[in-house]
Structure 1
Amino acid sequence: MNTPFEINAEGDRIVYVKTVEVADLPREVREQAGDLSLLYAVHDADGQQLALVADRKLAFNLAREHDFSPVAVH
């Protein structure tokens, strides 16, 4: 079975949460970000972005609500 998600020893699907500079995003996204300078992206193991949210806690909660185990990327 081929999956874009890593699976840890406990069998949890892992996604990665990282900060993203709003200045590095496309104009449409920058406009929607308002006065925020950072957003939080949730990615699968292949690097595909699954979500982009304004709050770190929200990113982790969103991942858990969808049965993923979030891991912070530094």
Structure 2
Amino acid sequence: VSRSYNLSALIALEQAYELAGQFKNPEVTATHLFASLMSTTQVSLAFARLGIDKQKMNESLGGMLAKLPKV
């Protein structure tokens, strides 16, 4: 599977996996992946151009991650 992803995609997936581990979640979800993408400069700048407050987005994502099942 990894052969079909570029380096940026692999890094985002790895960060999502690590984030799931930090929150003690048993699986990686789209929320983990989205949160890992929000930490990149490109995605962060895109949301800033749309007028979305990064801090509020991160707080919302943190709340969503905290509600996921834990092991």
The reply to whether TM is greater than 0.5 is no
TM-score, normalised via structure 1 length = 0.29
- Higher helix fraction: Structure 1 or Structure 2? 2
